[in-house]
């Protein structure tokens, strides 16, 4: 007995030693990697210390000059909030456009991704060939950044939200398709077997055996994607794909400093509101209080 | 009429040399309306045998025929039709937990309709009425609109039986139907299976791990050991020695 214990503790301390060696090795390796990469990207302290204040300069420039006595005066008076947000109506219309871009692209992407995901899940795919090709196809769709697709479609279809919607739909299809097929791969296939044993084909198996149990997870992922798309749709406007981003790009380029802060503040508020709402909704769906 | 014949059925899992032979040359005949109990320890090949009859598992060699039709060669629509004619119930019920009882029962009819209707969850009115009748027969009408996951194990297995009835089957294959149930529910479920056998003349082939239950419910028992038939006859003919072997091994 003593012998066994002794052996065991010896083995144990040997393992610890081995692990410690590897840990040190990995940390040193990471350190060297950081040194090499920082020399490549020309990272040095003087550049950072001289650069940081300039960041403050820009922020100071875009902040509005608000006069506390005149905050709620009309839009003709400098220093008031209405003066700062003289373009409020336009922003709201553009924000609404951005919101719609996110909604539509999430919706379309959701439908395409759901259809394709049944082919790209290893455990339920109807055949190996479709599994391979659909999986590669989805990889391509999400591998190309949406901004690249947006540039392509702006060039092809002209400036406007349509290009942005198509670009985001493509990326959403790829991203959700992967997540959905992973959800399917964790599905319990007992009811599929029962449906097959009753003479039901692949389509009823998917519809009744798989879909009901994966639905809560799938909707939760779709909502998460919607949150991501709201943020993406603001940035994608920079290349002319519509929405508030297009306006933001414009005011940045024309150095309409106060408008930059006005728009950014609106975007942040919108994103936070939607994140909170959709986050709460997702929690409810996961907990199963809703179907 | 309605006779099911198995001819030297073999099922081997895995490659030739190191493969495990689950069913090793089984031949038997079951006539329409019989209630057959299959007994044997776990791993004896009971479940594989049943799944082969339904074609959930493909036999390595041998053949199955029903009324002179070779079942083993069926494909596509004909295979689906055969599957719906020999309904199956499972040890763990294999229901769709998140859907209501009625829809679960209606899934027994999925093979009969266009997929576009199936996708949209559209069931004909007469099928719905039939499903409600089946639930009534199993004393579950009151639960028709409840989610399956809210039901007890015994109730779930009876929902599975109702689903099987919707297939208008000629054969009912029951794979350890009472293994995950308590004694009281086991009796209800077995009584229901027996009732279906008696009243509708549906052939029942039932895998059971309990010899007692098997003796009680079927006039013909088939004992399996290592994929081979070691007994086939009425329960009275089962010798003490043989039942000891089949039964004791199960208790290991």
Please write the tens of the pLDDT for every residue from A111-124. Answer: 999 999 999 999 99
* Cβ of residue B182 closer than 8 Å to a chain A Cβ: no
**Average pLDDT of chain B to the nearest whole number:** 89
Q: What's the sign of the alpha-carbon dihedral B100, B104, B110, B113? A: negative
Please write the tens of the pLDDT for every residue from A42-86. Answer: 777 787 888 888 888 888 888 888 877 777 777 777 778 888 888
Question: Other C-beta atoms within 10 Å of B111: how many?
Answer: 22
* Cβ of residue B164 closer than 8 Å to a chain A Cβ: yes
Place of tokens 């940390």: A27
Chain-centroid distance of CA A141 in Å reads 14
pLDDT at B160: 95
Q: Which of A202-206, B157-161, B213-217, B239-243 has the lowest mean pLDDT?
A: B239-243
Alpha carbon distance A105, B228 (integer Å): 59
| Topology of domain B4-246, CATH | Rossmann fold (3.40.50)
Alpha carbon distance B5, B80 (integer Å): 19
Contacts of B84 in chain A (CB under 8 A): 198-199
Q: Residue B46 in contact with residue B101, Cβ under 8 Å?
A: no
Alpha carbon distance A147, A167 (integer Å): 7
**Average pLDDT of chain A to the nearest whole number:** 89
| CA-atom Rg of chain A in angstroms | 27
Chain-centroid distance of CA A137 in Å reads 20
Alpha carbon distance B188, B148 (integer Å): 18
Interface contacts (A, B; CB < 8 Å): 83
pLDDT-derived band at B211 (thresholds 50, 70, 90) equals confident
B15 burial via Cβ count (<10 Å: 0-12, 13-18, 19+): exposed
Flag whether the pTM goes above 0.95.
Answer: no
- Residue ranges for chain A with pLDDT beneath 70: 1, 288-291
* Cβ of residue B92 closer than 8 Å to a chain A Cβ: yes
Q: Assess whether pLDDT exceeds 70 at residue B65.
A: yes
For chain B, percent of residues with pLDDT exceeding 90: 65
* Cβ of residue B193 closer than 8 Å to a chain A Cβ: no
**Shortest Cα–Cα distance, A190 to chain B (Å):** 5
ipTM: 0.90
């Amino acid at each position: 007995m003593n012998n066994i214990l002794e052996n065991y503790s010896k083995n144990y301390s040997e393992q610890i030693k081995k692990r410690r060696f590897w840990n040190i090795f990995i940390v040193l390796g990471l350190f060297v990697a950081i040194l090499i990469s920082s020399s490549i990207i020309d990272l040095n302290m003087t550049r950072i210390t001289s650069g940081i204040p300039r960041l403050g300069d820009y922020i100071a420039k875009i902040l509005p000059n608000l006069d506390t006595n005149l905050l709620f005066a009309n839009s003709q008076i400098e220093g008031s909030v209405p003066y700062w947000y003289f373009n409020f109506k336009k922003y709201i219309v553009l924000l609404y456009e951005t919101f719609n871009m996110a909604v539509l692209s999430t919706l379309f992407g959701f439908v395409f991704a759901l259809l394709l995901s049944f082919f790209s899940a290893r455990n339920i795919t109807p055949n190996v060939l479709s599994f391979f090709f659909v999986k590669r196809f989805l990889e391509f769709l999400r591998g190309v950044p949406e901004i690249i697709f947006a540039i392509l479609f702006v060039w092809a279809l002209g400036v406007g939200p349509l290009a942005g919607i198509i670009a985001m739909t493509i990326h959403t299809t790829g991203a959700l398709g992967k997540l959905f097929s992973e959800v399917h791969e964790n599905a319990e296939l007992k009811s599929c077997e029962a449906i097959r044993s009753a003479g039901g084909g692949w389509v009823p198996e998917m519809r009744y055996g798989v879909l009901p149990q994966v639905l809560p997870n799938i909707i939760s992922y779709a909502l998460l994607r919607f949150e991501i798309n709201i943020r993406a749709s603001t940035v994608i406007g920079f290349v002319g794909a519509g929405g508030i981003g297009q306006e933001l790009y414009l005011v940045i380029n024309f150095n309409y400093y106060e408008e930059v802060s006005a728009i950014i503040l609106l975007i942040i508020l919108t994103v936070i509101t939607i994140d909170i709402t959709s986050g709460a909704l997702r929690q409810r769906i996961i907990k199963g209080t809703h179907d | 009429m309605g006779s099911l014949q198995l001819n030297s059925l073999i099922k081997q899992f895995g490659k030739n040399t190191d493969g495990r032979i689950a069913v090793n040359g089984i031949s038997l005949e079951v006539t329409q309306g019989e209630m057959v109990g299959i007994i044997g320890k776990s791993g004896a090949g009971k479940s594989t045998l049943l799944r082969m009859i339904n074609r959930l598992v493909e036999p390595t060699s041998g053949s199955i025929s029903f009324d002179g039709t070779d079942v083993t060669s069926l494909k596509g629509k004909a295979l689906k039709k055969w599957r719906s004619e020999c309904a199956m119930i499972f040890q763990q019920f294999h229901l769709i937990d998140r859907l209501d009882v009625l829809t679960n029962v209606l899934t027994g009819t999925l093979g009969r309709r266009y997929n576009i209707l199936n996708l949209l969850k559209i069931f004909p009115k007469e099928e719905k009425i039939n499903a409600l009748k089946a639930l009534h027969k199993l004393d579950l009408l009151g639960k028709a609109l409840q989610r399956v996951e809210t039901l007890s194990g015994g109730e779930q297995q009876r929902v599975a039986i109702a689903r099987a009835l919707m297939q208008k089957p000629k054969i009912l294959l029951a794979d350890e139907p009472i293994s995950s149930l308590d004694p009281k529910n086991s009796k209800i479920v077995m009584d229901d299976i027996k009732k279906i056998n008696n009243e509708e003349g549906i052939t029942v082939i039932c895998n059971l791990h309990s010899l007692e239950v098997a003796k009680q419910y079927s006039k013909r028992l088939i004992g399996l050991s290592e994929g081979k038939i070691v007994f086939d006859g009425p329960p009275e003919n089962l010798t003490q020695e043989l039942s000891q072997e089949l039964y004791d091994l199960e208790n290991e």
